[in-house]
Structure 1
């Protein structure tokens, strides 16, 4: 007698030069496979760990574009499955704009709407959507589901969404959206599960990695956050500037003669920890460096995280806990200590570290959406 096929979910996080993926069993959300493709655009390599297998899989890919990388991931799933049926491909999409407040099954109309948002997230959105286009071609039997990093912040009070601009511009979508929502939603989920006493409390969540932001959360909802209309605002990041005087951008263009593309490249690719230090965008490399500018970059980062933490405490009328997550937040204890050393004026509050798991959050969303 033929065994019934096991429905599975393929969760994707597609970047400019990498694809991270996990395969979840749809009913239990057990992880069946996890891996990544790195070096897209140069020398691509796929690595993966299949649950229960002794050795990981490592394969060099002959071609290095997103289509061939996606094809390799699908082929790996087909080769190593155990009676799996790919029910859905679940995509992280950074910007959902004002229209998307919850995960959706992607249709051609929705894909066109998401493409129109690409200028608001130029580092991420085009690659996110390339992943959707590739999966539609390579796994057309599966549904494509989009989960949005902006959705968690969609119900912030208008007081925290607005820029001080004329209403006509705000009505055209020039407003604050916030990002890293899937990470913050996972933290809210984990607080309910592990610390229900804090789930209703005033929590500042710190997603600190190559991309970095903070979120004020209360009762599992986003109250305020540091990122704005794009994923460029707020904290300094690996290569992104964070908040900068808008007049400085005008100066770069009018006086220094930079065009819009040059300014965009500067603010997204050459700034942040990389620009401050002149050494690296990687926090581990900065911590290992003897260069005084590396230490300066770390101090600057810690100062800005502390300043914005205090700002978000004001947004909630106080703080009961500061929760760290992300690569820096989870692993750089000296950076956490440097941040906390600048916050004695906030009084007593708990400090927690909760590992990020945006992929599991996306799988939970997909399971609920599929019913």
Structure 2
């Protein structure tokens, strides 16, 4: 009989899920079954999976998130056909300064993780609500929390500390870094694609609705653009990225905006959406930039910030041996990759335009001084692998 782990990636209005068999030492990279509940807090929630096209579902208005979770569990049991569901693994964005490895969640752990909600308000509360609700549904079913901050535990102290009084650092206010499950998967996958070169000075660009860079050496994180919160670093779909803190002081002291209002602006009304006034998705902006000056400006700043941060990270790494694009935009938007790499021509980066347009694995030309790769991330498989290590420590996933 197979043993299965259900992996959940919970957002504010959607829950992505995937089912993995952990009974064997080598876990398939492809889930047996996966899908998504979308629009949970809206008026028209939908459900779709590997065998079912997306369709409307009724969740009710009182506890829609709980009902969405129950819907997923019921469909999971139908898929298992008598096999054992041995755990549910969750992507939890913030583990704070205490959790550097995946953990089985109990009441004490859940209380700790709730204290980090202000550090990741777009993600943390929803993963924790899912854990809490599923513990109520079946207290005997293990819930495994896998942290996006954990991979960056290897950052050297000079990268962790912020230029504030040292007592602030001692209170846990420091650079944590995020998208760790994605970068951890890259640490597994890139040697498969590029051999020993992946152990050199590598920059991985995780470009999705949220975006960050990770500088890796010997497959470990040594620098990253996100910091204390998931607001820092690159410009994103609706998030600002790095800002002069004086701007925030001005908005609160001179314009009299409350901290809550500033937070709403930084998380939900900035980035590509805020600057363009049109959309958070670069695909939409690319379609209208010829006639919409603000769309063109938003894309220009988006690319420029990525190029600047890559340049900064090259300096921190002392050079560059490989550049990798991953996540939704990084994997599928050839035009954004082209514009970024054009800005890196000073490093000797050159693309093979045909390979780039095809989203090939290697998109650099033979003349490029630095190989440029497109690598599909797999955070769900990474979480399933962590659950396997906790529940079946005698097995190894790689």
TM-score band by shorter chain is: over 0.9
Confirm or deny: 8 A CA contact 1:200 1:220 kept in the other structure: yes
1:214 matched residue in structure 2 = 213
Confirm or deny: 8 A CA contact 1:66 1:134 kept in the other structure: no
Give, in angstroms, the shift of residue 71 of structure 1. 0.3
1:16 matched residue in structure 2 = 12
Give, in angstroms, the shift of residue 60 of structure 1. 1.2
Q: List alignment gaps of at least 5 residues for structure 1.
A: none
Aligned equivalents of 1:127, 1:273: Cα separation in 2: 24
1:44 matched residue in structure 2 = 45
Q: Counterpart of 1:154 in 2: which secondary structure?
A: helix
Confirm or deny: 8 A CA contact 2:212 2:234 kept in the other structure: yes
Tell me the TM-score normalised to structure 1 length.
Answer: 0.95
Pairing of 1:165-244 with structure 2 (within 5 A): 165-244=164-243
Give, in angstroms, the shift of residue 11 of structure 1. 0.1
2:322 matched residue in structure 1 = 321
Q: Counterpart of 2:20 in 1: which secondary structure?
A: strand
2:356 matched residue in structure 1 = none
- Comparing 244-253 and 183-192, the one that deviates more: 183-192
- Runs of 4+ more than 6 Å apart: none
Give, in angstroms, the shift of residue 110 of structure 1. 0.8
Aligned equivalents of 1:57, 1:129: Cα separation in 2: 26
Q: Deviations over 1:242-266 (max 9, x none)?
A: 0000010000000011001100000
Confirm or deny: 8 A CA contact 1:216 1:222 kept in the other structure: yes
Aligned equivalents of 1:349, 1:95: Cα separation in 2: 33
The Cα RMSD (Å) is 1.3
2:258 matched residue in structure 1 = 259
Confirm or deny: 8 A CA contact 2:59 2:68 kept in the other structure: no
Confirm or deny: 8 A CA contact 1:204 1:309 kept in the other structure: yes
Equivalent residue in structure 2 for 1:362, among 359, 366, 383:
383
1:33 matched residue in structure 2 = 33
Give, in angstroms, the shift of residue 59 of structure 1. 5.1
- Comparing 11-20 and 278-287, the one that deviates more: 278-287
Q: Counterpart of 2:175 in 1: which secondary structure?
A: coil
Aligned equivalents of 2:248, 2:8: Cα separation in 1: 34
| 1:349 matched to 2:370 | yes
Q: Counterpart of 1:231 in 2: which secondary structure?
A: coil
Tell me the TM-score normalised to structure 2 length.
Answer: 0.89
Aligned equivalents of 2:54, 2:177: Cα separation in 1: 36
Give, in angstroms, the shift of residue 57 of structure 1. 6.8
Give, in angstroms, the shift of residue 344 of structure 1. 2.1
1:302 matched residue in structure 2 = 303
Give, in angstroms, the shift of residue 77 of structure 1. 1.1
Give, in angstroms, the shift of residue 33 of structure 1. 1.0
| 1:60 matched to 2:74 | no
Q: Counterpart of 2:40 in 1: which secondary structure?
A: coil
Q: Deviations over 1:13-41 (max 9, x none)?
A: 00000000001111243422100000111
- Comparing 345-354 and 220-229, the one that deviates more: 345-354
